[in-house]
Amino acid sequence: MTTDATAPWLIVGLGNPGPGYAANRHNVGFMVVDLLAERTGGAFKRHGKAQAQVLEGRIGPMGPGSRRVVLAKPMSYMNLSGGPVTALRDFYKVPTANIVAIHDELDIDYGTLRLKLGGGDNGHNGLKSMTKAMGPDYHRVRFGIGRPPGRMQVADFVLKDFSAGERKELDYFVDRGADAVEALVTEGLERAQSSYNS
């Protein structure tokens, strides 16, 4: 599947809105798009037609190599992410292949990244909602958070903040996640995978 070089990219961080969730493992997608927003020097604004905060900007080197992007944080809860993402896709006329979802991934070790196009939702409610709304053919940047310890329930684990030990490396891993998104948008999936899939 090829992407349209002139169409914008829609880069969606998945998470839950509100300060109570801000540092949760489930909100690592928000953390990565917040850093991308910081790099563009812009600020998120509430979108009039979608339940989301958005920032329009550019990613990549100045000139013809840069790409027009819409950074987005759905302000629905995680399991309703598909509605806001579809509304933004339609509003900005973004092909599905130019959509990137950044999300936490239980089946990958903490801090490990995996980039891919399409696939299943692996039980992730944000992906499930997006796929139900528009099919599976969008890019994913999967940010490993590891499995819950002992008998902790998955829902409790993802809605807890990163541990003190994890927080020591979190900024580095979020930075790497933002770099991976930029590489995906400017260099294409295969080159980004070869650099960041570890």
| 6 vs 18: CA distance, rounded Å | 34
DSSP for 60-109?
A: SSSSTT-EEEEEEEE-S-GGGTHHHHHHHHHHHT--GGGEEEEEEETTS-
Q: What is the CA radius of gyration of the chain?
A: 15
Which residue from 9, 12, 15 is spatially nearest to 124, judged by alpha carbons? 15
- Contact status, residue 35 vs residue 43, Cβ threshold 8 Å: no
Task: Return all residues near 179 (Cβ < 8 A) that are at least 6 apart.
Answer: 196
Strand-pairing partners, residue 102, are 13, 141
* Token pair in block for residue 95: 């092909």
Catalytic residue among 26, 47, 103, 124, which? 26
Closest to 69 (Cα-Cα) out of 8, 12, 141: 8
Q: Could you confirm whether 26 is annotated as catalytic?
A: yes
- Where do we find the tokens 């299943």? 120
Catalytic residues: 26
